[in-house]
Amino acid sequence: IPFAQPPVGDLRFEAPQPVQKWSGVLNAKEKKPSCVQVMMMTRVMMKNEDCLYLNIFTPYKSDATKKYPVLFYIHGGSYRSGSGHIYNGKVVSMMGVVVVTINYRLDVFGFLTAADNILPGNYGLRDVVMALNWVHDNIASFRGDASRITLVGHSVGSALVGILMTLPSTRGLSFF
């Protein structure tokens, strides 16, 4: 599911922009591409800048009237590799939890900075904030409870969780 506009063209080195709302049913059965990265073992570059998508796994055979807690998972990968697609949330969702995994821009596309106003950087972190806000605003459509979102990360993902706790842009949210 897209959570931001594709960061291509003029949006390449810009903060993520809100995705345009769609009407009707969005076919989200097929995985979208991971963000651009060099695969560590093979040195093969995976190329697709249109990558700001998230995956949502809902409890199977769940009570349609119940709101479930949400586990928001941020992948690791040394800021250079990884994807929300690597982790299948089906098993955890069977325990009565809505699981969300995300993609965010990596390497120079996500964390390059010139330390100025022209290229301030941290676009990958901004992608995570945009995804978190999208989930907060839309998770009820997936039987998730926006007041019970737990952030979890692996490796760099856990560092990003720590950083999110200190950002002024996340202080008004009910996650911390």
User: Distance (Å, rounded) from C-alpha 44 to C-alpha 129?
Assistant: 29
Token pair belonging to 69: 């807690």
Q: What is the mean pLDDT of residues 58-65?
A: 86
Summarised one tens digit per residue, pLDDT across range 34-61 is 899 877 666 666 678 999 999 999 998 7
Q: Is the pLDDT of residue 125 over 70?
A: yes
Strand bridging mode 54-57 / 144-153: unpaired
Q: Which structural domain, as residue segments, surrounds residue 155?
A: 9-170
pLDDT computed for residue 42 by the predictor: 61
pLDDT computed for residue 113 by the predictor: 87
- 124 located within any domain: yes
Instruction: Please tell me the total count of domains within the chain.
Output: 1
Q: What is the mean pLDDT of residues 129-147?
A: 95
What is the amino acid identity at position 75? H
For residue 136, name the pLDDT band (cuts at 50, 70, 90).
Answer: very high
- 175 located within any domain: no
For residue 176, name the pLDDT band (cuts at 50, 70, 90).
Answer: low
Q: Is the pLDDT of residue 67 over 60?
A: yes
pLDDT computed for residue 122 by the predictor: 92
Q: What is the mean pLDDT of residues 115-133?
A: 92
β-partners of residue 4 are 18
- 3 located within any domain: no
- 105 located within any domain: yes
pTM: 0.92
3-class SS of residue 173? coil
User: Distance (Å, rounded) from C-alpha 78 to C-alpha 142?
Assistant: 31
- 23 located within any domain: yes
Q: What is the DSSP string of 126-164?
A: HHHHHHHHHHHHHGGGGTEEEEEEEEEESTHHHHHHHHH
Mean pLDDT of the chain: 90
Token pair belonging to 101: 């995994």
Dihedrals phi, psi of 31, to nearest 5 degrees: -70, 140
CATH number of the domain within which 116 lies: 3.40.50.1820
pLDDT computed for residue 41 by the predictor: 63
Token pair belonging to 131: 């995804």
- 59 located within any domain: yes
Q: Is the pLDDT of residue 146 over 60?
A: yes
Contact 103, 4 (CB under 8 A): no
